Amino acid sequence: MQLIECVPNFSEGRDQQAIGSITRAAGAVSGAAVLQVDSNADAHRTVMTIAGEPGPVVEAAYEALRQAAEVIDMTRHQGAHPRLGATDVCPLVPLAGVTLEDCVGLAKKLGQRVASELDLPVYLYGAAASSPERRRLAWLRRGGYERLAQRLEDPKFKPDFGPAEFNPRLGATVIGARNILIAFNVNLSTEDVAVAEQIAKALRPAGGSAPLPQSQAMGWLMPGYGCAQVSINLTDYRVTPLHRAYEAVRQQAASFGISVVGSELVGMAPLEPLLAAGRNYLPPGGAGDEPGIEDLLAAAVEGLGLAAVRYFNPQEQVLELCLARLGGPAAVWARGKIDQLMGADDHNGNESQSVKNN
């Protein structure tokens, strides 16, 4: 069985009619399932998760990008999240029976099609990048949509596919391949975005090291939540688990005389790091010697404050739990993965406890 995930990010988080039309376009492709649609008005952004066999998922991604090009106008877009275009980024992620290199090939084919049929500048990133600097989304986004016209004049910023011409309404699109990433935002007990930015800076790599390796962080203000956030992308949750990121922000926040007030997951997350967080925060003897999946998830939600600013439902935001309800080969894979995770010793267990106590 072959199974991949696609997580297109659209520069629209307020117009529900537009978001609905993009969702319907992706969902109309047989063999691909739209697992979740996560919109935020302050970020003015929607994160969609599509999963299934590679061919249908890539087709669903194209249909979503095509519809986004119909309904999004970047000349009117303002939001907290960095972005280059109507579809800001579209990564392909291997899940089962597919390699990262397979996803690179799929990303290149999708990029060529988007550039040709939608007449857009397309950049490849992540494992599909055509040069070392283009592996980093932050480098491609430097200056954002507002500086895109200027950067397109630089031969070094020539798109991988499509015209090196500024499209005011649609901007540019970044397509690539990567492994699973967790988008994790930690809420602060302040609306001072400067503090959030300083905390994020302290967590970012400097001189080859960082408190949170394999992560990227930035600070921003979320007026809808009434707080500033430290927004963290965990590019390898086995190197930097969710709870370690949360506790690192807590420690940095304390140095500014403030506290953390919960967190949120943007889009979906795999089950493994949530189980690790649950084991970290579960009170000793609180659920017996062998806590069940519900106990661990409840402890993770409580310990990370995942329901502090909005509703959190593991059945809708945990990848394997969502796939397990689909039926077919994807559900068989997901149930097997759940059984494996619940039957295996948590390799982060000892380290997790030390993080909690230090």
User: What DSSP string runs through 118-157?
Assistant: H---EEEEETT-SSGGGG-HHHHTTTTGGGHHHHTTSGGG
pLDDT in tens, 6-26: 999 999 999 999 999 999 999
Mean pLDDT of the chain: 93
CA atoms within 13 A on the CB side of 193: 9
C-alpha Rg value of the chain to the nearest Å: 20
pLDDT in tens, 236-278: 999 999 999 999 999 999 999 999 999 999 999 999 999 999 9
Residue 347 is among the residues annotated as catalytic for this protein: no
Give the helix/strand (H/E) hosting 263: strand 260-266
Fold annotation for 182-357: Alpha-Beta Plaits (3.30.70)
Query: What architecture is domain 3-177?
Result: 2-Layer Sandwich (3.30)
Q: Is the pLDDT of residue 161 over 50?
A: yes
Q: Is the pLDDT of residue 300 over 60?
A: yes
Give the helix/strand (H/E) hosting 69: helix 54-71
Q: How confident is the model at residue 228 (pLDDT cuts 50, 70, 90)?
A: very high
In the set 44, 81, 243, 347, the catalytic residue is 81
Query: In the predicted model, what is the mean pLDDT of residues 114-133?
Result: 97
CA–CA separation, 103 and 29 (whole Å): 19
Residue 238 CB neighbour total at 10 angstroms: 12
Structure tokens belonging to residue 330:
């994807």
Query: In the predicted model, what is the mean pLDDT of residues 191-216?
Result: 86
Domain ranges in the chain?
3-177, 182-357
Residue 64 CB neighbour total at 10 angstroms: 28
pLDDT in tens, 69-98: 999 999 999 988 999 999 999 999 999 999
Q: How confident is the model at residue 49 (pLDDT cuts 50, 70, 90)?
A: very high
- CA torsion sign, 89 to 37 to 55 to 100? positive
Structure tokens belonging to residue 211:
């408190």
For strands 173-177 and 122-126, give the pairing.
parallel
CA–CA separation, 191 and 227 (whole Å): 4
